[in-house]
Structure 1
Amino acid sequence: MWVVATAGHVDHGKSTLVRALTGMEPDRWAEERRRGMTIDLGFAWTRLPSGATVAFVDVPGHERFVPNMLAGAGPVPAAMLVVAADEGWKPQSAEHLAALEALGVRHLLLVVSRADLADPGPATRAARARLTAFGPVETVAVSAVTGAGLDDLRAALDRLGSALPAPDLDAPVRLWIDRAFTIRGSGTVVTGTLGAGRLTADADLELDASAVRVRALQSLGAPESTVDAVARVAVNLRGVERAAVTRGDALVTPGRFVRTDLLDVRVHGDPVADLPASVVFHIGSAAVAARVRPLGHDTARLRLARPLPLHLGDRALLRDPGRHRIPGGVTVLDVSPPPLTRRGAAAARSLELSKMDGAPDLAGELHRRRLVHADTLRRMGIPAPGEGWLLDPDHAASLRARLASEVRAYAAQHPVDPDPPVDAMSRRLGLPDRSLVERLLTPPLTIRNGRIGTGTGLPPRLSRAIDAVRAGLAANPFAAPESDRLAALGLGPKELGAAAKAGLLLRIADGIVLLPDAPPAALERLTGLPQPFTLSEARQALGTTRRVAVPLLEFLHRRGSTRRTADGRHTTDTVS
């Protein structure tokens, strides 16, 4: 299917032409038919000689209904500009043409209508003189009354459609809603032009940041299980109240768009300095008030009255309702711009924006943002590899140097326990995820048990004290040194903890340390006792005191190496 919007001055025969081509009535409201003019959007379709289907979005031509015109033309890829032979070029002809150019609609067909009332030549020449920005534009003269030229117009529509770029069916869905209504027994139905992607029945989507589900689909009046872009589509939503939906809302693929009310843009048209402070921002079927902050000659920051789902590279239009004119179109350069709070930030941002064109640029975004999640980039409209956090190479090199410096500083401040916790280093570097620390490590730094191993070893004084304890335990493995002996050696809780982390000593309780191989050696001696055995028998077998035997047995119990019997004795037979 091809979708084409009509455009042109009021009463130049747009709806009459659509009616003659399709045999359908595009004007939906009795008021429109009574007044003989299109007020809101109309829709009709027909099959062309090639067998392709063309659907028309018929827009109003009156100046008062320009917002309705923009709602219809915004999402479509092509337009049919209608100029009456007997009236020629008119103000709304110019405004509609400016709107199409600003919205980036590049595929255009010029139709000179009412050729039965006047020579189409003058109107054709006047119109073509204004279409130079669109390149070669085919022109067809027709009369909807006599039927003259309608076959030529159908053939021209075939050529227009075949020249349109193929839609991206893998793109995320963003269906700008142009109508919403209720059908008894079905609930809320919304319609729009699907410009990219694929819609399926039972699909999960988002509407104004809320999760919704598709109940059913229709396209051109027929039920469908799948609708591919480009297409006119009606979507029956499950569990959505009609009052919750309005024109300008959008159905989108979850997690694939940034909903933002702040964006940086390039303006195509008037110099930014000449823009009014307040404009209306038109994209798709949405029309949102916006405040303009000039940044450069052709760049500005817009603050929207409400968030919209946007991508980098989106084309939109600015309208000045006070002066009834269109200052220009915009290309969205950034949907998540940085704050401009420091002196000189606006000038620096203007320079940065001057180098951007709205095209997806992974390397450029990484350089500007330094650290960004892949999901965030995809929501911005930038294809991103893999999952998780992405680092700009230059920023990563800087972080590695900082990490090494921070680790050295920590080791100097904590000589007894020089290996810093990973979480502490993550906070010092301002990283959003501790996994980034591991990615930044370079040898000899390693991660073990949640800490960064520095490989610096223990201070010499501490090493000598621990060696003295180990020598005593080697001679008598269960004669844990007394607290005064440990104090004399300068071994407090922190020092003993460092020795335990280094695997040099084993703490079985506060102030009680043995060699790391003490538990299996103790279990071997206890297994040789008659089972079960008493605490006193264990103490004698181990050649130690009650001070050591009690916590050692508790340590073995916690490991499951021994168990306590019902009468308070102990056994190495752990099978009940």
Structure 2
Amino acid sequence: MSERFYTIGMAGHIDHGKTTLTKALTNIDTDRLKEEKERAISIELGYAPLSLGDDYHVSVIDVPGHEKFIRQMIAGVAGIDLVILVVAADEGVMPQTVEHLDILNLLGIHHGLIVVTKMDQIEEDMIELIEEDIGGQVEGTFFEGSELLFVDSVSKKGIPELREKIKERLAGIPVRDARGAFRLPIDQVFTVHGQGTVVRGTVYEGEVSEGDTLELLPQQRKVRARQLQVHHQPKKTGRAGQRVAVNLGGVSKQEVSRGDVLVSTQYYSTTRTIDISLNTVDNLKFPLKQRGYIKCHLGTAEVYGKIVFFDRNELTEGKGVLCQLRLDQPVVTRRGDRFILRRPSPVETIGGGTVIDPQAEKYKFGEETIEMLSRKSKGTPEERLIDLLKEKKSLAEKEALNDLSMDKEELDEVTAALAKEGSLKVFGRTLVLEATAQELIDMIEEELKAYHTDYPLRDGKELAQIKQDFSSYGNEAAGKIIDEAISQGVFVKTGALLASADFKPGYPKQWAKRMQQVEDSLMSQGLEVEPSAVLFEKAGLPEDWAREQTHFLLRTGNVMSLDDKHLLSSDAFNKGLISLYHNTGERFTLQEAKHIFGLTRKYLVPLMERIDESGFTKREDSERVWVKKPAE
């Protein structure tokens, strides 16, 4: 069978035997701090490997039970696969046990075992009463109906049976998906002499290998995984479900804190505004006010912020309340992540739930926002991608991975399915809905139609300007859509200009006769033409249209510029050029040219300069030399 990686959490009231039970199962004492030894309580998270054989790789987390250490408890429980709820036989369910149950429920943990410790301290006839007491307390939780396992951790009575039961339960729990992008919320930071900074945590998603370049968030700091260890054993890789220690290169211990996250460099980003679905605890002591101050536990992070409601100004209790968190500091999260909310003062657990949108925006108060959040929360991956693309018009693959909290493989499956059915276009790493692409094409066609009406003599509109006009679609996406439309014959690109496929530049109907009059005059006047302004004035053309026709005639090549005041028929210029070539030798003077053309200096000088500029002749002192022969 393939290797299976799991994390088990020990939860329960202080001094109910979690640490002793962990030691009985693993032969490791997880109380590692001097203060913990002296006070006989767990302050920090304790970890130990549990050997079950058959390729099962299991980490046991002994989470603190004392109320003051609830933060560490939440950090430890986030990311576990199976919970062992520890209840001491001589005390039963205590207040801290109830709070742990609430937190486990709110974190969406579904698999658990109930273990009653210190069974040597009770009489046989007390077992039934203990079972009834615990059964009543766990009613309505995922522990409801669970079998109780009685053990004595010191004598190890019941421990072999517990190990078998753990293995049996784990066999029915799917292993964490290692295909996604790597994410490790950090719960411990320390230094090792000669090695530098080491961080530890449970890998939520994906896989990490020795030598990988990672990103430390929210600092946005590039680091390198120099070495990896799993329970003090060197490893080349670590994967989802494993407790992994990573020796980091490129960062000091002072720059890293519990709550920071190690991620694959391109697939995650930070956020401070999160859409959520909130479930409160059943007996909330005090109502939660609009924009009330909260403490959010997300993964291993603990961040303060405010809660924003869109359909109420106060919350006493509720399930699936759609609202938003606006945090004081950035966090790393994805859709579907679980969180816990606590009230800073007076201290109590408010509730918890799931992240709907990790990259949320600010919305208006009202039913419309609630309906939108409801759609977000219920949508399939395909529906969520479609909704997001409707909102943002186009998305780079990296943005989609962030905004939708999908891994790359899942996104690839979704995009492939939507592309196959024809509702999505994929341009490299850019995603656009087919309807959006068509909408953009239609809008550009309307834009070009209006432009061709206003400027019928131009070859088209500047493509750069069109992209700027429709920048809300994303420059890259707009460019790809336009390129595809050009290849399909919808548009025609001439240089840097874009035009409708059926458009041909030409004189507009209302000015056609007058423009033709100017063109005819230029053709008939030969080399001795009237100034352009006079020609346009005689034809009765407004200044704007005169300017447009000038550019049009120059672009078509029928006309050329003699100087800044005169246009010249290209045909007249070519005929004159050929005549000059045949009636002169290799060299000739201005006087000879005057004799051939019969022009005054007013026209002769600019004409000869134009011939020079065209590369046919070159001036040397008072003569001109032929450089190339004109085509006949």
| Superposition TM-score tier, normalisation by shorter sequence | 0.7 to 0.9
Deviation, 1:41, is: 0.7
Matches within 5 A, 1:507-546: 545-546=604-605
Any idea what the Cα deviations from partners look like across 1:127-171, whole Å, max 9, x if unmatched? 344154326645422111111111111112212322222322221
CA distance in 2 between counterparts of 1:512 and 1:168 reads 76
Structure 2 residue 299 is the aligned partner of structure 1 residue 284: yes
More displaced 10-residue stretch of structure 1: 122-131 or 222-231? 122-131
- Corresponding residue for residue 98 of structure 1: 102
* Contact 2:115 2:148 (C-alpha < 8 Å) held by counterparts: yes
CA distance in 2 between counterparts of 1:23 and 1:465 reads 102
Of residues 302, 316, 319, the one that matches 2:339 is 316
Alignment RMSD (CA, Å): 3.8
Residues 82 and 409 (structure 1), Cα distance of their counterparts in 2 relative to 1, 3 Å cut: same
Structure 2 residue 501 is the aligned partner of structure 1 residue 457: no
Deviation, 1:23, is: 1.3
Structure 2 residue 141 is the aligned partner of structure 1 residue 133: yes
Match of 1:448, as an amino acid? T
Q: Secondary structure at the match of 1:116?
A: helix
CA distance in 2 between counterparts of 1:3 and 1:541 reads 103
Deviation, 1:215, is: 1.8
Of residues 1, 6, 9, the one that matches 1:2 is 6
Residues 199 and 444 (structure 1), Cα distance of their counterparts in 2 relative to 1, 3 Å cut: closer
- Corresponding residue for residue 497 of structure 1: 551
More displaced 10-residue stretch of structure 1: 102-111 or 27-36? 102-111
* Contact 1:538 1:549 (C-alpha < 8 Å) held by counterparts: no
* Contact 2:533 2:565 (C-alpha < 8 Å) held by counterparts: no
CA distance in 1 between counterparts of 2:589 and 2:173 reads 90
Deviation, 1:568, is: 8.3
Residues 571 and 482 (structure 1), Cα distance of their counterparts in 2 relative to 1, 3 Å cut: same
Residues 267 and 13 (structure 1), Cα distance of their counterparts in 2 relative to 1, 3 Å cut: same
Any idea what the Cα deviations from partners look like across 1:205-244, whole Å, max 9, x if unmatched? 2112222222221112122222122211111111201111
- Corresponding residue for residue 150 of structure 1: 159
Q: Secondary structure at the match of 1:133?
A: coil
Residues 470 and 437 (structure 1), Cα distance of their counterparts in 2 relative to 1, 3 Å cut: farther
CA distance in 2 between counterparts of 1:390 and 1:473 reads 53
Residues 501 and 304 (structure 1), Cα distance of their counterparts in 2 relative to 1, 3 Å cut: farther
**Which consecutive unaligned segments of at least 5 residues does structure 1 have?**
none
**Which consecutive unaligned segments of at least 5 residues does structure 2 have?**
312-317, 416-425, 598-602
- Corresponding residue for residue 200 of structure 1: 209
Residues 434 and 370 (structure 1), Cα distance of their counterparts in 2 relative to 1, 3 Å cut: closer
CA distance in 2 between counterparts of 1:152 and 1:500 reads 95
Matches within 5 A, 1:131-530: 132-134=140-142, 137-207=146-216, 208=218, 209-269=220-280, 274-276=287-289, 277-296=292-311, 298-340=321-363, 345-357=365-377, 360=381, 361-380=384-403, 381-382=405-406, 383=411, 385=415, 386=426, 387=428, 389-392=430-433, 395=436, 398-414=439-455, 417=458, 419-431=460-472, 433-437=474-478, 439=481, 445-454=491-500, 455=503, 457-458=505-506, 459-460=508-509, 463-464=512-513, 467=516, 482-484=531-533, 486-488=535-537, 489=539, 490=541, 492-501=546-555, 505=559
CA distance in 1 between counterparts of 2:253 and 2:585 reads 79
Deviation, 1:437, is: 4.5
CA distance in 2 between counterparts of 1:304 and 1:115 reads 46
* Contact 1:525 1:541 (C-alpha < 8 Å) held by counterparts: no
CA distance in 1 between counterparts of 2:214 and 2:344 reads 33
Any idea what the Cα deviations from partners look like across 1:445-479, whole Å, max 9, x if unmatched? 54433333141633136555665566577779877
Structure 2 residue 627 is the aligned partner of structure 1 residue 571: yes
Residues 95 and 457 (structure 1), Cα distance of their counterparts in 2 relative to 1, 3 Å cut: same
CA distance in 1 between counterparts of 2:88 and 2:129 reads 10
* Contact 2:151 2:158 (C-alpha < 8 Å) held by counterparts: yes
CA distance in 1 between counterparts of 2:152 and 2:44 reads 24
Residues 396 and 30 (structure 1), Cα distance of their counterparts in 2 relative to 1, 3 Å cut: same
Deviation, 1:518, is: 9.9
CA distance in 1 between counterparts of 2:580 and 2:158 reads 107
* Contact 1:200 1:214 (C-alpha < 8 Å) held by counterparts: yes
Structure 2 residue 123 is the aligned partner of structure 1 residue 122: no
Residues 435 and 32 (structure 1), Cα distance of their counterparts in 2 relative to 1, 3 Å cut: closer
* Contact 1:533 1:571 (C-alpha < 8 Å) held by counterparts: no
Match of 1:554, as an amino acid? E
CA distance in 1 between counterparts of 2:445 and 2:267 reads 37
Deviation, 1:60, is: 0.2
Residues 431 and 565 (structure 1), Cα distance of their counterparts in 2 relative to 1, 3 Å cut: farther
Q: Secondary structure at the match of 2:377?
A: coil
CA distance in 2 between counterparts of 1:355 and 1:229 reads 30
Structure 2 residue 554 is the aligned partner of structure 1 residue 547: no
CA distance in 2 between counterparts of 1:275 and 1:405 reads 52
* TM-score, normalised with respect to structure 1: 0.85
CA distance in 2 between counterparts of 1:531 and 1:179 reads 94
CA distance in 2 between counterparts of 1:101 and 1:562 reads 92
Deviation, 1:291, is: 0.3
Q: Secondary structure at the match of 2:121?
A: coil
- Corresponding residue for residue 600 of structure 2: none
More displaced 10-residue stretch of structure 1: 142-151 or 221-230? 221-230
Question: What is the total number of aligned residue pairs between the two structures?
Answer: 566
Match of 1:424, as an amino acid? Q
Matches within 5 A, 1:44-55: 44-55=48-59
Match of 2:306, as an amino acid? R
Residues 447 and 314 (structure 1), Cα distance of their counterparts in 2 relative to 1, 3 Å cut: farther
* Contact 1:526 1:541 (C-alpha < 8 Å) held by counterparts: no
* Contact 1:21 1:150 (C-alpha < 8 Å) held by counterparts: yes
Q: Secondary structure at the match of 2:120?
A: coil
* Contact 1:480 1:548 (C-alpha < 8 Å) held by counterparts: no
More displaced 10-residue stretch of structure 1: 301-310 or 498-507? 498-507
- Corresponding residue for residue 31 of structure 1: 35
Match of 1:457, as an amino acid? P
* Contact 2:278 2:351 (C-alpha < 8 Å) held by counterparts: yes
* Contact 1:85 1:114 (C-alpha < 8 Å) held by counterparts: yes
* Contact 2:562 2:610 (C-alpha < 8 Å) held by counterparts: yes
Match of 2:355, as an amino acid? V
Q: Percent identity?
A: 27
Match of 1:495, as an amino acid? Q
Q: Secondary structure at the match of 1:327?
A: strand
* TM-score, normalised with respect to structure 2: 0.78
Residues 141 and 533 (structure 1), Cα distance of their counterparts in 2 relative to 1, 3 Å cut: farther
* Contact 1:294 1:300 (C-alpha < 8 Å) held by counterparts: yes
Q: Secondary structure at the match of 1:10?
A: coil
